[in-house]
Amino acid sequence: MTFAVLVFPGSNCDMDCHHVLSNVLRQPVDYVFHHETDLSKFDCVVIPGGFSYGDYLRCGAVARFSPVMQAVQDHVAAGKLVIGICNGFQVLLEAGLLPGAMVRNDCQRFVCKYVNLRTESTDTPFTRRINKDAVLRIPVAHGEGCYYADEQTLRELKEKDQVVFRYVSPEGVVTPEANPNGSVENIAGICNAERNVLGMMPHPERCSEDLLTSVDGRSIFESLLAGSV
């Protein structure tokens, strides 16, 4: 499976993603810069975390209009895979590729810590190797990760099983204390109705090696590969 890692001015998790995909999962990976317009040779596009365009105006608002994002739209329309992590999730929301929006953390702080995620849907290419309700330990690092969607959008997300991850207690229970940023219904990650686009605030690329405290992030990338054979 060939991966593209997008690079915007201000991306800072691009090298981590590249490292995990190439050195841990042994897959072909290329960096693709924001001004490029062709993604046709890739199977999966990773939009990494960071502060694209300095988070000016709103997180992801400017990146959304860079030339490569038109190519991402075409890539999605062709049914190919996209995963947006942290700032990448924000870019996908601003681009309208995922529903809802992101606002500032309700606690007003930049939150950087490990959180527990419950896998709500395993019917996606990103989670098919994970057991339903499995709790993953994956770190977050963001200031604007409070997911918001109006009632109707929320209803649709749930009806179509698009909520992929929720913030939970270590025991796997949705509680207000487990919610690091005030996201509506503890939502940490969602996919689109066609199930080929995933956006999540936590960083699976930061916990995919034995050397680090958790390897839970790797199961997401391994799920992707499991479908490519």
Partner 1 sequence: MAKVEVTIQLKPSLMDAQGVTINKALHNLGYNEVKGVRIGKFVELEIDGDKPADIEVRVREMCEKLLANPIIEDYQVNVAAGNPALEVREPRTAHATKPRVEDWRGFHMSVSEYEALDWKERGNLHAEFQQLHGDWIEQQMQERGAKWILVVEGAVIAFGLSWQDCPNSLELGEQCLQSQKMHWLFEKLLCIEETAWSPLSEGDCYPTISLEIVGNNPSVSVQLTADFDSGSNATLVGESTLRLAGLLPSRLMLIQTASHLGRTFQYASLPLSVLVTDESGNRQVGEVDGAIVYGWEGSPFTSINPRREALVGRNFLLSLPACIELDGITRHTRITKVSSG
Residues that bind partner 1 (CB under 8 A): 57-58, 61-62, 65, 94, 100-101, 103-108, 146, 148-152, 182
Query: From the CB of 101, what's the least distance to partner 1, in Å?
Result: 4
Q: Work out the burial of residue 214: count CB atoms within 10 Å of its CB; fewer than 13 is exposed, 13-18 middle, 19 or more buried.
A: middle
Among residues 139, 144, 127, 142, the alpha carbon closest in space to that of 205 is found at 139
The structure tokens listed for 220 are 């997401």
- The least distance separating partner 1 from the CB of residue 104, rounded to whole angstroms, comes to 5
The residue among 59 and 220 lying less far from partner 1, judged by its C-beta, is: 59
Collapsing DSSP states into helix, strand and coil, what is residue 23?
helix
Q: Report whether 167 contacts 178 (CB < 8 A).
A: yes
Q: Pick the catalytic residue from 86, 146, 191, 207.
A: 86
We find the least distance from the C-beta atom of residue 207 to partner 1, in angstroms, to be: 28
Single-letter amino acid, residue 172: G
| Residue (of 102, 50, 97, 49) closest to 69 by Cα position | 97
Q: Name, in order, each residue with C-beta under 8 angstroms of 210's C-beta and a sequence gap of 6 or more.
A: none
Q: Find the shortest distance in angstroms from Cβ 64 to partner 1.
A: 8
Q: Give whichever of 67 and 170 is closer to partner 1, judged by the CB atom.
A: 67
Residue 59 annotated to the active site? no
Q: Is 86 a catalytic residue?
A: yes
Give CA–CA dist 157/166, Å, rounded: 13
Of 18, 75, 142, 203, the active-site residue reads: 203
Out of 94, 120, 144, 205, the active site residue is: 205
Comparison of 149 and 164: residue with beta carbon closer to partner 1: 149
Has 205 been annotated as catalytic? Answer: yes
Nearer to partner 1, 7 or 59 (CB): 59
Q: How far is the CB of 184 from partner 1 (least distance, A)?
A: 10
Residue entry with tokens 């799920």? 223
Quick check: 87 and 93 in contact, CB under 8 A?
Answer: no
Amino acid at 32: V
Nearest to 161 by CA among 129, 120, 199: 120
Pick 33 or 65: Cβ nearer partner 1: 65
Q: Which residues are catalytic?
A: 86, 203, 205
